[in-house]
């Protein structure tokens, strides 16, 4: 126990998981004190969040463009309507209005007119999706029939029975042709899970297809940030946390956690400073976890910690393009059958017309390629750029003659962990064995793939685990169970 009577919780890592843990803990203290209004001695908690970088946000961050001086996200992030915990974090800090919500998407396939993907507002889930498949003009009649029958089979198949299957293996086993897998299932699954269908777990794929599309109206809505991620998660959100009493320390890299000290856990910073803690939440990525402990301590603190080395990573590339003109009127487009997977134009703020030159530096567009190792490795950066530019010229007639002013390709090889059939059991087995130690991060067993939603849920779960250790009087901030399923979805979709 630290010397003071106020328990001290140290959170290591200022990504969305660590930020969510800090928010949940400070809200838990406030809610507990509100419930016990009559108490003369309010519950107190000292919360310190340590982040190694210059600002918080972690993978949901931005770089500063040296020409325009603007902050540009390393890679475009989107959330879905089904990400209710992430959305509640945004709401909690009045940041939801900084995200633009889209119900409809537009799919582009070479040689075909763009197809809208517009779930019906009037039909109950999951029927609301049926009409949108019919409108995907690049799919032929057989492919549409296969997609509908595949969705039906998926709804009637229990999640647990898919644990050991890859998406491709299962889709082929129910008669989906290669062309339908490429033109439909790959498009959704590779973007949502950041991994190829021949690797990705069908159980994780089902989670996205059911929770993110079939089970509820609004689940497949796409939320796109209108402000740089660094402004939201590196400036505004931390300021709000500080106003709640959380001590936030950036450029405070943790070197090691001493587990055997008689005074309780000691968190040692690279600077040499030592912090005494009562409870510690470690919210670093999976590949950093074991380095925070002495080699002999790691397995004592977290049995199976070395399983983290078996959580493979999958890269995502953001191809940042500054063009001499806008090339599209829609804010974004899904690209099918091409190396490019999704194109975004910015700024999204509705006050800025896409035809106005927004900056001297040109019109900014970003192409996103998930599971990008194949393309990047086989093509090389210049060939990848040339391929993407050709695809944009072919697909967007309005900008056919655009000139590229400059570009930057950002690929994070550790963007997300690869959700293969082996992943879920590995994730589930990496649990702390010390009563004061708690884990958070998108990779912990939240039931979600590597997403902002998973990170926020993990932070909340870790905060609740701390609350249970500290005091019966500390309330828990519940994890949101997700969008309620529609009446028809409850009847036809097996759990
Ligand atoms: C290119 C790309 C595109 C993505 N697109 C999407 C998307 O569209 N939608 C979506 O939902 N998700 C997307 N993701 C995933 C999403 O960004 C992550 O799931 C989420 O941000 C993970 O949050 P986290 O807190 O778990 O981990 P991180 O963001 O990795 O945070 C961990 C933090 O710990 C800090 N840290 C590490 N070691 C130490 C130490 N020793 N001491 C102190 N601090 C330390 C790190 O600096 C970091 O800030 C994308 C990710 C990438 C990289």
Write the pLDDT tens digit of every residue in 73-123.
999 999 999 999 999 999 999 999 999 999 999 999 999 999 999 999 999
By the 8 A CB rule, do 75 and 318 touch?
yes
CA 428 to ligand 1 center in whole angstroms: 19
SS3 486: coil
Q: Is residue 228 within 6 Å of ligand 1 at its C-beta?
A: no
Tell me, which fold does domain 8-58+228-311+420-470 have in CATH?
Answer: FAD/NAD(P)-binding domain (3.50.50)
Q: How confident is the model at residue 380 (pLDDT cuts 50, 70, 90)?
A: confident
The rounded Å distance from CA 481 to ligand 1 centre is 23
The answer to whether the annotation marks 254 as part of a ligand binding site is yes
331-335, 418-422, 439-443: segment of lowest average pLDDT: 418-422
- 73 in contact with ligand 1, CB cutoff 6 A: no
pLDDT value, residue 40:
66
pLDDT above 60 for 368: yes
CA pair distance 463, 479, nearest whole angstrom: 11
Q: How far apart are CA 182 and CA 171, in angstroms?
A: 11
DSSP one-letter string for 44-111:
--EEEEE-SSSSS-TTS-EEE-TTT--EEESS---EETT-HHHHHHHHHTT-GGGEEEES-EEEE-TT
Is the peptide bond between 347 and the residue preceding it cis, with omega within 30 degrees of 0? Answer: yes
Average pLDDT over residues 340-354: 70
- Token pair for 100: 């633009």
CATH 3.90.660.20 in the chain is located at 313-417
Task: Give the ipTM.
Answer: 0.99
For residue 404, the cross-strand partners are 323
Looking at CATH, the fold of the domain delimited by 120-217 is given as: Guanine Nucleotide Dissociation Inhibitor; domain 1 (1.10.405)
283 CA distance to ligand 1 middle (Å) = 10
Which pLDDT band, with edges at 50, 70 and 90, does 42 fall under? confident
CA-closest residue to ligand 1 atom 48: 58
Residue 418 alpha carbon to ligand 1 centre in Å:
14
Q: Is 75 in the pocket of ligand 1 (CB under 6 A)?
A: yes
CB contact set of 96 (below 8 Å; sequence gap of 6+): 87, 90
Among protein residues, the one with the nearest Cα to ligand 1's atom 19 is 451
77 lines ligand 1 (CB under 6 A): yes
| Helix (H), strand (E) at residue 296 | helix 295-301
- Residue-wise pLDDT tens digits, 324-341: 999 999 999 999 999 999
Main-chain phi, psi angles of 203, to 5 degrees: -65, -45
Contact 80 CB / ligand 1 (< 6 Å): no
Per-residue model confidence (pLDDT) at position 10:
98
377: pLDDT strictly greater than 90: no
**pLDDT score for 373:** 65
Q: Are 336 and 293 in contact (CB under 8 A)?
A: no
Tell me which of 16, 54, 57, 59 to substitute to probe ligand 1's pocket, judged by most ligand atoms within 8 Å of the beta carbon.
Answer: 59
pLDDT at 371: 82
CATH class (in words) of the domain with range 313-417: alpha beta
Whose Cα sits closest to atom 4 in ligand 1? 77
3-state secondary structure of 3: coil
Rounded Cα gap, residues 50 and 298, in angstroms:
20
Whether 263 shows a pLDDT value over 90: the answer reads: no
Give the 3-state DSSP-derived string for 427-451, with helices as H, strands as E and coil as C: HHHCCCCCCCEEECCCCCCCCCCCC
CATH 1.10.405 maps onto the chain at 120-217
- Of 4, 9, 8, 17, the residue nearest 439 (C-alpha): 17
Contacts of 471 (CB under 8 A, 6+ apart): 43
Query: Ligand 1 atom 3: the closest Cα is on which residue?
Result: 75
Contacts of 262 (CB under 8 A, 6+ apart): none
Q: What are the residues whose beta carbons fall under 8 Å from the beta carbon of 207, sequence distance 6 or more?
A: 159, 447, 448, 449
CB 317 within 8 A of CB 76: no
Counting atoms of ligand 1 from 1, which one is nearest the CA of 316?
A: 1
DSSP line for 457-484: HHHHHHHHHHHHHH-TTSPP-PPP--SP
What are 116-160's pLDDT values in tens digits? 999 999 999 999 998 899 999 999 999 999 999 999 999 999 999
Please state the separation of Cα 31 from the chain's center in Å.
Answer: 28
Is residue 360's pLDDT more than 80? no
The Cα–Cα gap between 168 and 152 comes to 17
CA angle 280, 281, 285 (to 5 degrees): 135
The rounded distance, in Å, linking the Cα atoms of 44 and 26 is: 9
- For residue 409, the surrounding DSSP H or E stretch is strand 404-417
Q: Is 119 in the pocket of ligand 1 (CB under 6 A)?
A: no
* φ, ψ dihedrals at 476, nearest 5°: -100, 145
**Upper half-sphere CA count for residue 391 (Cβ side, 13 Å):** 22
Closest ligand 1 atom, residue 77 Cα: 8
Query: Which one of 10, 11, 14, 15 would you pick to mutate in the ligand 1 pocket, going by the greatest count of ligand atoms within 8 A of its CB?
Result: 15
Where exactly does CATH 3.50.50.60 map onto the chain? 8-58+228-311+420-470
Residue 288 Cβ inside 6 Å of ligand 1? The answer reads yes
* pLDDT at res. 348: 66
């Amino acid at each position: 126990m630290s010397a003071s009577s106020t328990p001290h919780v140290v959170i290591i890592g200022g990504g969305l998981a660590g930020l969510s843990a800090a928010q949940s803990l400070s809200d838990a203290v406030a809610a507990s004190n509100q419930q016990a209004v009559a108490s003369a001695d309010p519950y107190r908690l000292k919360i310190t969040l340590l982040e190694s970088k210059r600002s918080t946000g972690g993978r949901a961050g931005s770089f500063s463009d040296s020409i325009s001086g603007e902050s540009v996200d390393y890679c475009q992030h989107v959330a879905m309507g089904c990400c209710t915990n992430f959305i509640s974090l945004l709401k909690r800090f009045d940041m939801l209005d900084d995200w633009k919500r889209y119900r409809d998407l537009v799919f582009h396939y070479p040689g075909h007119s763009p197809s809208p993907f517009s779930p019906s507002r009037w039909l109950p889930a999951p029927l609301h999706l049926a009409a949108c498949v019919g409108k995907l003009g690049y799919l032929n009649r057989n492919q549409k029939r296969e997609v509908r029958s595949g969705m039906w089979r998926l709804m009637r198949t229990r999640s647990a029975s898919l644990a050991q299957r890859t998406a491709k293996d299962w889709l082929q086993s129910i008669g989906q042709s290669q062309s339908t897998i490429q033109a439909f299932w790959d498009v959704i699954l590779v973007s949502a899970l950041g991994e190829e269908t021949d690797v990705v777990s069908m159980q994780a794929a089902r989670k996205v297809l059911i929770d993110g599309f079939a089970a509820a109206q609004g689940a497949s809505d796409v939320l796109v940030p209108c402000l740089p991620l660094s402004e939201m998660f590196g400036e505004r959100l931390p300021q709000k946390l500080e106003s709640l009493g959380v001590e936030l320390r950036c450029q405070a890299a943790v070197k090691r956690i001493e587990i055997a000290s008689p005074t309780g856990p000691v968190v040692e910073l690279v600077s040499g400073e030592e912090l005494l803690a009562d409870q510690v939440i470690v919210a670093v990525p999976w590949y950093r976890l074991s380095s925070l402990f002495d080699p002999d301590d790691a397995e004592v603190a977290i049995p199976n910690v070395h399983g983290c080395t078996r959580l493979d990573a999958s890269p995502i590339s953001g191809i940042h393009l500054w063009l001499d003109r806008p090339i599209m009127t829609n804010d974004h487009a899904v690209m099918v059958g091409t190396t490019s997977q999704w194109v975004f134009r910015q700024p999204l703020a509705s006050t800025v017309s896409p035809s106005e030159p927004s900056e001297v530096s040109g019109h900014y567009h970003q192409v996103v390629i998930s599971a990008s190792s194949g393309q990047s490795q086989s093509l090389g950066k210049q060939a990848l750029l040339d391929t993407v530019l050709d695809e944009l010229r072919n697909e967007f007639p309005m900008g056919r003659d655009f000139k590229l002013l400059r570009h930057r390709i950002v690929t994070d090889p550790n963007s997300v962990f690869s959700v293969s059939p082996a992943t879920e059991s590995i994730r589930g087995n990496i649990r702390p064995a010390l009563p004061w130690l708690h884990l958070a991060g998108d990779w912990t067993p939240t039931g979600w793939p590597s997403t902002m939603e998973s990170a926020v849920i993990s932070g909340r779960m870790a905060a609740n685990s701390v609350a249970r250790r500290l005091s019966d009087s500390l309330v828990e901030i519940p994890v949101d169970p997700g969008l309620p399923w529609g009446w028809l979805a409850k009847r036809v979709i097996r759990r």
